A and B are shown apart, each in its own frame.
Chain A
Amino acid sequence: GQNIDQPTEMTATEGAIVQINCTYQTSGFNGLFWYQQHAGEAPTFLSYNVLDGLEEKGRFSSFLSRSKGYSYLLLKELQMKDSASYLCAVRLGGSYIPTFGRGTSLIVHP
């Protein structure tokens, strides 16, 4: 199967750091994406990982461990506007078509 697991909801304080995890079954891994989706809007691309390690992009970083079937999205210096759903999408089984997890709803409070 292609189960992709993320926590349903997380809360954090403005200015803090939060880590959103994503786990998946490793068969035929071919890339992992993170998307941000604000309520009522379309998903927008945040990051892409295909090799092990950390990819940093401003306040956002994404980490991948292929052997563990594990990724996380790290958000630093949280802002209120970071309140959104964060979607993990994984390409598995040699396919170019990504499968999406259910998403993690992040609530940032003052």
Chain B
Amino acid sequence: NAGVTQTPKFRILKIGQSMTLQCAQDMNHNYMYWYRQDPGMGLKLIYYSVGAGITDKGEVPNGYNVSRSTTEDFPLRLELAAPSQTSVYFCASSYSSRGGRQETQYFGPGTRLLVL
């Protein structure tokens, strides 16, 4: 299994440009997440999905959009890039069942985004 994969690894955007961060997992996990991590800070949840066709906002959703058309893929869209979106973006997945004891999150390697 490749686990959780993310592309690109690094990207520089100009203010106002748009881009899509790709995330895929091959573990048949139902839950997927997008986080951003700023220097010296923990992970802040942007959006998450509990299954194909279902997405919901996290703590910091403004400026981002997501879709979940398949179990495997969970792309994150930035429509109008702003300097405040300079960050490291991590995608994660987990398997959650009601009453399940342990649902560890598996993280992708991250995408480093610089908006100038």
Distance in Å from the Cβ of A70 to the closest Cβ of chain B? 18
Distance in Å from the Cβ of A48 to the closest Cβ of chain B? 5
- CB within 8 Å for A102 and B108 given contacts A43-B90, A50-B101, A96-B96: no
B residues less than 8 Å from A44 (CB atoms): 107
CA A50 – CA B105 in complex, angstroms?
15
- CB within 8 Å for A45 and B43 given contacts A96-B31, A96-B96, A97-B48: no
The reply to whether B42 and A87 form a contact with Cβ atoms under 8 Å apart is: yes
Interface size on A, residues (CB 8 A): 21
The reply to whether B45 and A97 form a contact with Cβ atoms under 8 Å apart is: yes
The reply to whether A48 and B102 form a contact with Cβ atoms under 8 Å apart is: yes
CA A101 – CA B40 in complex, angstroms?
11
The reply to whether A98 and B42 form a contact with Cβ atoms under 8 Å apart is: no
- CB within 8 Å for A101 and B96 given contacts A43-B107, A44-B107: no
**Can you name the residue of chain A whose Cβ is closest to the Cβ of B56?**
A97
The reply to whether A100 and B90 form a contact with Cβ atoms under 8 Å apart is: no
The reply to whether A42 and B109 form a contact with Cβ atoms under 8 Å apart is: yes
The reply to whether A103 and B42 form a contact with Cβ atoms under 8 Å apart is: yes
**0/1 interface trace, chain A 38-72, chain B, CB 8 Å (1 if under):** 00011111001010000000000000000000000
The reply to whether A42 and B105 form a contact with Cβ atoms under 8 Å apart is: no
Partner of B107, one of A42, A97, A98, A102: A42
The reply to whether B108 and A42 form a contact with Cβ atoms under 8 Å apart is: yes
**0/1 interface trace, chain B 75-116, chain A, CB 8 Å (1 if under):** 000000000000000100000100001111111111000000
CA A99 – CA B58 in complex, angstroms?
10
**Which residues from chain B sit less than 8 Å from chain A, CB to CB?**
31, 33, 35, 40-45, 48, 58-59, 90, 96, 101-110
Given contacts A45-B104, A48-B102, A97-B48, 17 further A-B contacts (CB under 8 A): A8-B40, A31-B102, A41-B109, A43-B105, A43-B107, A48-B104, A50-B101, A87-B43, A96-B96, A97-B58, A99-B45, A100-B44, A102-B40, A102-B41, A102-B42, A103-B41, A103-B42
